[in-house]
């Protein structure tokens, strides 16, 4: 099952026509409004910002098409680069808008914000970014250099990994295929797969380290030029949360690493092993012949969504029926999974690499959760639908919880215990592992100068060991495994958003189970529909939670403790 990109463009002639139109309209907007925002009447400003949004949405549509072509075939790198360059050229004509708005007097800004209620939060966020904006001339230089700086190394990483093959038992496997073997019930298979993965990564370590160093250096330069306090600050600003909130999250997670260690000690006993290695983390507790092929996974997800909210079922059904999803691994296709929001005038696109495991079932639910969130937020427009990472992970992780509850009661005792183990491991992966990633990044970005391979490996092992303690033995091979994590390259300090979303969802799901379900579904749907038109703090306040309160995170930790206690009860039975 492949994407149908016709919702974006039927052909490249139409793509080129839109590119030409966007370029013409951007020049016209600049000609009419540049240097004149302070003179605009409120109605004229409203007309201008609507045109600004419309042009940006058209550019978003163009770039979505180009990116999706590249994501499924790395040979389309040149095609993608062509439109990146064209986008950069057109964006030059739009640079003035946000910069000039931030030069207006405070009374004028307040007058214009009051006149454009649909854009209130977007404009207020612009004002907060003012201290870190440069002159238009400087911003133009950075825009011009973007394609040959961090984004160029990001593209190199993607193209390189899409072509990598790992030798296993006479086969050449993709990253997705080799990693899926770490969930095999046969320990020898897991060990061989881990060894093959490490062996496949090792020759590419110098290149991958160089790419990471360039990402680090580019971010440091950007922070110095803009006056950010540290490498994390721009991400926190994008996520619309404070350093205090992130530090509280990390502190809460690290102080409960004992839950991870307690679980893996129990798992070693259940597997009958004296010692667990990194390749044993995802070993199933019982050998199972259960295969979650795509049609089976689809049926489970649709049924669970229908029971929660018919609207979710309706949107997910459209995704399956109208070509929103590219399902299976193939040569030169990007690994992993994502849901691309595209634009409000089209629909999201979901990339999967389905290999028929239970984890793939949850990945399908996760990405469709994103797609539902993205589709629901179309009503707040292109500028308002850009959801911060901190809340964008909510719908995806919540969808996984729906699937967990949907399948757990129809299983035998041993299968249920295995499912709980898998769910706990998913929570650990989404919460604690991402905190490890974040503290690893902190060490990398705080390091003076470039890092050599030994230092990358050392930092990785130090942070990983903090999570696992003595419950898992990390071999020398594992020291290399930082090098395949794409978020370090594409989006520095992205990973804590997963942790944030996981704890938030656990708190919300606990509320859902204990409260008026109809009212919760109503509030939750409204929360998703708001997209990025309100701050995470305001959105979450609707449920009675304060994300600035350190105690808030303990609600999620408490839910993990409850799930772990249920699991241990099954083990003792």
Q: What are the boundaries of each domain within the chain?
A: 12-133, 230-288+414-572, 294-388+396-408
What is the spatial distance between Cα 185 and Cα 291, in angstroms, rounded to a whole number? Answer: 13
- Per the CB < 8 A criterion, the answer to whether 187 and 464 are in contact is no
**Considering only the top CATH level, what class is 12-133?**
mainly alpha
Question: Three-state DSSP class for 84?
Answer: helix
Whole-number pLDDT of residue 346: 96
Whole-number pLDDT of residue 288: 61
What is the spatial distance between Cα 193 and Cα 212, in angstroms, rounded to a whole number? Answer: 25
Angle between helices 136-145 and 205-226 (to 10 degrees): 170
Whole-number pLDDT of residue 87: 95
Contacts of 564 (CB under 8 A, 6+ apart): 259, 262, 263, 424
What is the spatial distance between Cα 526 and Cα 541, in angstroms, rounded to a whole number? Answer: 13
Residue among 151, 176, 152 nearest 162 (CA): 176
Contacts of 213 (CB under 8 A, 6+ apart): 450, 451
Place of tokens 């609207």: 311
What is the spatial distance between Cα 249 and Cα 239, in angstroms, rounded to a whole number? Answer: 14
Whole-number pLDDT of residue 121: 93
Number of neighbouring beta carbons within 10 Å of residue 12: 12
Whole-number pLDDT of residue 554: 85
**CA angle at residue 154 from 148 to 155, to 5 degrees?**
80
pLDDT mean by block of 10 residues, the chain; 573 residues: 94 97 98 94 96 98 97 93 94 94 94 94 93 89 86 92 92 90 93 97 96 96 95 92 88 94 95 95 79 94 97 98 95 91 96 91 96 96 88 91 91 87 92 96 97 98 96 96 95 91 89 90 95 89 81 86 93 75
**125 token code pair:** 């966020």
CATH of 230-288+414-572, one of 1.10.1370.20, 2.40.128.50, 3.40.50.620, 3.40.50.2000: 1.10.1370.20
Question: Three-state DSSP class for 545?
Answer: coil
Number of neighbouring beta carbons within 10 Å of residue 141: 13
What is the spatial distance between Cα 7 and Cα 170, in angstroms, rounded to a whole number? Answer: 41
Beta bridge partners of 167: 172
């Amino acid at each position: 099952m492949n994407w149908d990109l016709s919702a974006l463009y039927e052909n490249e002639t139409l793509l080129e026509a839109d590119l030409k139109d966007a370029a013409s309209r951007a020049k016209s907007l600049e000609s009419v409004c540049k240097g004149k925002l302070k003179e605009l009447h409120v109605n004229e400003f409203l007309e201008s910002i609507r045109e600004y949004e419309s042009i940006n949405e058209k550019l978003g549509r163009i770039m979505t098409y180009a990116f999706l072509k590249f994501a499924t075939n790395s040979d389309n790198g040149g095609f993608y680069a062509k439109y990146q360059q064209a986008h950069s050229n057109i964006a030059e004509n739009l640079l003035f808008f946000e910069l000039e708005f931030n030069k207006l007097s405070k009374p004028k800004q307040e007058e214009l914000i009051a006149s454009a209620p649909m854009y209130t939060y977007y404009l207020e966020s612009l004002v907060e970014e003012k201290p870190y904006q440069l002159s238009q001339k400087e911003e133009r230089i950075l825009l011009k250099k973007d394609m040959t700086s961090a984004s160029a190394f990001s593209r190199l990483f993607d193209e390189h990994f899409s072509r990598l093959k790992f030798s296993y038992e006479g086969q050449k496997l993709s990253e997705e295929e080799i990693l899926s073997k770490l969930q095999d019930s046969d320990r020898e298979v897991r060990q061989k797969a881990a060894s093959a993965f490490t062996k496949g990564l090792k020759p590419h370590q110098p290149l991958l380290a160089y790419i990471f160093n360039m990402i680090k250096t580019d971010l440091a330069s950007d922070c110095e030029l803009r006056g950010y306090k540290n490498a994390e600050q721009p991400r926190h600003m994008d996520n619309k949360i404070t350093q205090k909130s992130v530090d509280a999250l990390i502190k809460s997670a690290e102080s409960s690493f004992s839950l991870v260690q307690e679980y893996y000690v129990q798992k070693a006993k259940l597997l009958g092993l004296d010692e667990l290695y990194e390749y044993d983390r995802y070993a199933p507790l019982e050998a199972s012949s259960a295969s979650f092929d795509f049609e089976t996974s689809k049926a489970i997800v649709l049924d669970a969504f229908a029971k929660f909210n018919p609207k979710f079922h309706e949107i997910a059904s459209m995704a399956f029926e109208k070509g929103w999803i590219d399902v299976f691994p193939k040569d030169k296709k990007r690994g992993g999974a994502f849901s691309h929001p595209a634009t409000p005038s089209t629909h999201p696109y979901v990339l999967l690499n389905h290999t028929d495991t239970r984890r793939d079932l949850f990945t399908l639910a996760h990405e469709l959760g994103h797609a539902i969130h993205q589709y629901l937020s179309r009503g707040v427009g292109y500028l308002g639908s850009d959801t911060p990472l901190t809340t964008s992970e909510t719908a995806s992780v919540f969808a996984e919880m729906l699937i967990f509850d949907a399948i757990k009661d129809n299983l035998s005792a041993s299968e249920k215990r295995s499912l709980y183990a898998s769910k706990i491991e998913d929570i650990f992966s989404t919460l604690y592992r991402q905190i490890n990633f974040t503290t690893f990044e902190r060490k990398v970005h705080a390091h003076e100068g470039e890092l050599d391979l030994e230092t990358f490996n050392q930092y990785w092992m130090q942070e990983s060991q903090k999570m696992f303690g003595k419950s898992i033995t990390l071999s020398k091979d594992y020291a290399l495994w930082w090098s395949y994590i794409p978020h370090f390259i594409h989006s520095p300090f992205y990973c804590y958003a997963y942790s944030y979303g996981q704890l938030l969802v656990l708190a919300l799901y606990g509320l859902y189970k204990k409260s008026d379900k109809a009212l919760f579904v109503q509030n939750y749907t409204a929360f998703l529909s708001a997209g990025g038109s309100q701050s995470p703090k305001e959105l979450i306040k609707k449920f009675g939670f304060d994300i600035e309160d350190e105690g808030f995170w303990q609600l999620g930790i408490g839910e993990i403790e409850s799930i772990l206690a249920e699991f241990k009860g099954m083990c003792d039975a």
